[in-house]
Amino acid sequence: MSVDPMTYEAQFFGFTPQTCMLRIYIAFQDYLFEVMQAVEQVILKKLDGIPECEISPVQIRKCTEKFLCFMKGRFDKLFGKMEQLFLQLILRIPPNILLPEDKSQEVLTYSAEEFQLLHKEIEQLQEKYKTELCTKQAFLAELEEQKIVQAKLKKTLTVFDELENAGRENGTSDFRESLVFLVQNSRKLQNIRENVEKEGKKLKVS
């Protein structure tokens, strides 16, 4: 007969019901023996007080054993019944009852594979999150860099603007045009000078 260890009951009570019953059985049995012993002591004492009593202590002991043997037999039978009822009706967790600490067992149940997959998904999500964070850092770094580059480029453009403004303030709205204009004028001047020089030579010669 397989023993029902009643571990679920032990989880709730903190002791096994069988131990509890054993503890009660031993205590009750001890009391039965103790009371029987007390009865025998009292009877022997009473007999001591009776002069020329023919009943010997051995006889009384035999009577005690006879009564105790009978009582023990009935005691064991009755206790067996009581134990059965105790284990069925009092110290048992009914099969449809779940202990509070196990409530979660009813809510969600995952197979080992599902649990594994969940773990895998969590790890993947963690990796993905890390990647996204790195991406964010990279973007922020580039944005920072862009700010610097743009500032430099804008500064360069400002320099050009300031140059042109300087020109403008001195009457040359457009440097290039004015230079072209200068070059043309210079050429004209040179031509004029050449002509003047030629004329001068002619005059000398004549």
Partner 1 sequence: FDEIIVDIATKRKQYPRKILECVIKIIKAKRE
Partner 2 sequence: SPALSRVKLLDTMVDTFLQKLVAAGSYQRFTECFKCFSQLQSEMSQRIYDKFVTQLQTSILEEIAEIKAEGNLEAVLNALDALVEEGKDRQEPAWRPSGDPEKDLRSPLLPYFLQQRDTLRRRVQRQEAENRQLAEQVLNGRRQVEELQLQCRARWQAWQALHREQKELLAVLREP
Q: Does 196 bind partner 2 (CB under 8 A)?
A: no
106-135 residues near partner 2, rule: CB under 8 A: 106-110, 112, 115, 118-119, 121-122, 125-126, 128-129, 132-133, 135
Q: Does 149 bind partner 2 (CB under 8 A)?
A: yes
In the three-class reduction of DSSP (H, G, I as helix; E, B as strand; rest coil), residue 96 is classed as coil
61-90 residues near partner 2, rule: CB under 8 A: 63-64, 66-67, 70-71, 74-75, 78-79, 81-82, 85-86, 89-90
Please choose which of partner 1, partner 2, none residue 188 contacts, taking the beta carbon within 5 to 8 angstroms, the exact cut-off set by kind: none
CA atoms of 167 and 115, how far apart (whole Å)? 77
CA atoms of 161 and 167, how far apart (whole Å)? 10
134-173 residues near partner 1, rule: CB under 8 A: none
Residue 72 C-beta: closest distance to partner 1, Å: 24
- Read off the amino acid at residue 150: Q
Q: Does 185 bind partner 1 (CB under 8 A)?
A: no
CA atoms of 35 and 175, how far apart (whole Å)? 131
Helices 112-169 and 175-205: crossing angle in degrees, nearest 10, is 30
Side-chain-side CA neighbours of 176 within 13 Å: the count stands at 0
Single residue of 46, 61, 168, 201 touching partner 2 by CB under 8 A: 46
